[in-house]
Structure 1
Amino acid sequence: MSTSTPEESRLSDDHCTPDALLHSAPARDVTPEDLVMAAGRDVTPATLAWARRKLETEGRAAVEKLLP
């Protein structure tokens, strides 16, 4: 049984995800996982294969095309 109050639960949900966890760092190579997540897809063997092919042909531009 939980001993937290509704307000304590709400407060724990009122935080922001750090920017470093949401975006690929420009100083490092883009991984297939980065591209899959930037595209809003689930990370699966099929989407990872798609991302690998896209990165091989387009490089970092593959991710940059997805950004607003």
Structure 2
Amino acid sequence: MSTSTPEESRSSDDHCTPDALLHSAPSRDLTPEDLVMATGRDVTPATLDWARRKLETEGQAAIEKLLP
């Protein structure tokens, strides 16, 4: 049985992943489909038209309003 601690068994390359790489955010290329799905609606021609209009008027803010 080994008496080493987990820290001692780590290679010198081991490191923690930076928080920014663990979380994703919407890209700047937000699509109407992305917006529809983010609202929990079904993707239909009507909801896609709604999302297109919303993105044209609000831009990126349309999805940022949905985020906590």
Give the structure-1-normalised TM-score: 0.60
Structure 1: distance between partners of 2:48 and 2:25: 16
Judging changes above 3 Å, is the alpha-carbon distance between structure 1 residues 42 and 36 closer, same or farther for their aligned structure 2 residues? same
Task: State how many pairs are aligned.
Answer: 45
Residue deviations 1:35-61, cap 9 Å, x none? 000111000000000000000000010
User: Which blocks of at least 5 consecutive residues in structure 1 are unaligned?
Assistant: 1-22
Counterpart residue number, 1:63: 63
* Misfit runs of 4+, over 2 Å: 23-26
User: Which blocks of at least 5 consecutive residues in structure 2 are unaligned?
Assistant: 1-23
Give the structure-2-normalised TM-score: 0.60
The structure where helix makes up a greater share of residues is 1
Give the drift of 1:24: 5.6
Judging changes above 3 Å, is the alpha-carbon distance between structure 1 residues 48 and 59 closer, same or farther for their aligned structure 2 residues? same
Question: Aligned pair 1:48/2:48, yes or no?
Answer: yes
